[in-house]
Structures are given as C-alpha cells and as structure tokens.
Amino acid sequence: MTTPPIEHIADIAAAIGSADSVCVITGAGVSAESGLRTFRGVTGMTAEDHGSMASLWKDFDPATLATAEAFAADPERVTRWYDWRRLGCLAAEPNAAHLGLAEIERRVAARGAEFTLLTQNVDRLHQRAGSRNVVELHGTIMAWRCLRTGKEVEPEPRPFDRFPPRSPLVDDSSDPLGVLRPSVVWFGEMLPPDAVARAEAAAASCDLFLSVGTSSVVYPAAGFIQRARERGADTAEINLEPTPISRLVRWSVRAKAGAALGAVAAALGSRPGP
C-alpha cells in the first residue's frame, strides 16, 4: 500500500523559497526518530526503538527531576539521570528531520536570506547534522556547570565516575560546591537572556515561522510563535498529534518530522534557483 502524500509540503516549501527570513522552533519530537524519548505525547516509536533508553526512563519523571529543587534534594539521582541521558544523546545519530533542517538552512542562506533554528532540545543533534544558526533555548546536556565557579565544562564522552560529578575547576575535594550540574534550563529557571533575545528578534522579523515536534506547552518557548503571528508571518506546524497551536497555524501537518522535513528539503531542491 503506497503512503499518501504529506499535505502542505509544497506550500511550506514555497513559503521558505520566497522568505527573506525563516524561523523554526523544534522540540523533542524532532529527536524521537533518533531513539531519544520525548517528554509528553506519542512518538510513533516502540520500546525496542529506544533500546537501553527505554529501560530506565519509565522510572524517571522529567517534570519532577528537571528542577533545581530535585537537584538540591538528591544531586546523585538527578545527575545520574542526566548522565544517562547525555550518554544516550552521544550514542544517538541525527535523523532525517535534523538533516532536512540543515539542508533547508543551507538553501535559505545560499539565497542570502535569514534562517534561525530555535531548539528546546538539549541533545546537540541539530549541530551534529550541520545546522549552524542554532539557539539553544533550554541549554545543552553536553555542557555541565561548576557550582563553585559558575564556569562551564564539556565532560569527556564517557560516564562520570561518581555522582554528583566533582568539578575539575575545584581542587578542594571537601568543597560541597565543588560539583557539576548539567547546563540545562530547569523548570522554574530563567532561559539564557541572549537566547531569549535572539529568539524574540527572529520570531518578530520572520516571514515564515515553522514549529516542528513540540507539544507547544512549555513557556516562554511556546510563546515565540505569537511574535510571528503579530507580524503577519506565515505559520506552519509539523507534529504527530494536535497541539494548542495546531488550530492557529496556516498549515498544520500531521506527520513524522523526518518524512515531512525531508520532503520539504526535496521540494526546495526541485525549485528553480539556488
């Protein structure tokens, strides 16, 4: 049985091809096809698709662990969870969604137009796929911050040997602040001001705002689309299931991010011009 064509691909490709500025926001759904678990909702993946990532995940609830309070209460448990996720991200490969967005960025930039990729993901798969203008709204699991100095380090790609991990920037092994926490934005924490400023500017100046693989329930990330709508930009969403923005966007695509973004990149490639 042939799969039906994905709707609105030609419309989205045409909007990208004629835009002076494109702003895309992604969430965990873009990394689902790389085997990384999402926070909420369906993924269309099975437990075995996630391999070892499926085993421990069921014991951990991100909403309760992705907080400074959880870290203060049990730094060992929280840093074990984040180190396990970090190793899962390192073992994962970018999928067709990441590669499609990198190709779309290359084509937009080749025309001299602006392309900004806002991501809520902390896995660095966009950068590994070749995306360049990436704004990490929620930080990254690949960097960890010393509580004593506030400085960031990028740990080696192997498991920490103790939890919470000791900071290499603090010699005094008895210093209780001589430990590392993941450089991600926890619930209740402010987003990096420079990331917010870049996101606001991109959303407020784009001709097309495309939301991919996010449940659009976490703020302020879920609010940037409003800046684009206020400007009268075209808006589109690619997501496996309906979200609070599905009825607001001009083109709502119910499909897997890999297939949809691959189709958009292909449609762009078949258009005249660079």
Q: Which residues are catalytic?
A: 138
Which residues, 209 to 268, sit near ligand BV8 by CB under 6 A?
A: 213-215, 217-220, 239-241, 243, 256-257
How many whole angstroms from its chain centre is CA 62? 15
Smaller CB separation from ligand BV8, 204 or 217: 217
Give the count of residues interacting with ligand BV8 (CB under 6 A).
38
CB of 232 to ligand BV8, least distance (A): 24
Tell me how far apart the alpha carbons of residues 116 and 264 are, in angstroms, rounded to a whole number: 17
How many whole angstroms from its chain centre is CA 131? 12
Using CB under 6 A as the binding rule, whether residue 94 contacts ligand BV8 is answered as no
What's the token pair of residue 6? 């994905």
Q: Which of 89, 92, 142, 185 binds ligand BV8 (CB under 6 A)?
A: 185
Q: Which residues have CB under 8 Å from 117's CB, separation 6+? A: 24, 26, 101, 105, 126, 131, 133, 134, 135
CB of 86 to ligand BV8, least distance (A): 11
- Residue indicated by tokens 């993924």: 43
Site string for ligand BV8, 53-72 (x = CB under 6 A): ---------x---x------
Site string for ligand BV8, 131-170 (x = CB under 6 A): -------x--------------------------------
Which residues, 27 to 46, sit near ligand BV8 by CB under 6 A?
A: 27-29, 32-33, 38-44
For 98-157, give the DSSP string: HHHHHHHHHHHHHTT-EEEEEE---S-HHHHHT--SEEETTEEEEEEEETTT--EE---S
- Angle among Cα 97, 183, 210 to the nearest 5 degrees reads 30
The binding site for ligand BV8 (CB under 6 A) comprises 27-29, 32-33, 38-44, 62, 66, 120-122, 138, 184-190, 213-215, 217-220, 239-241, 243, 256-257
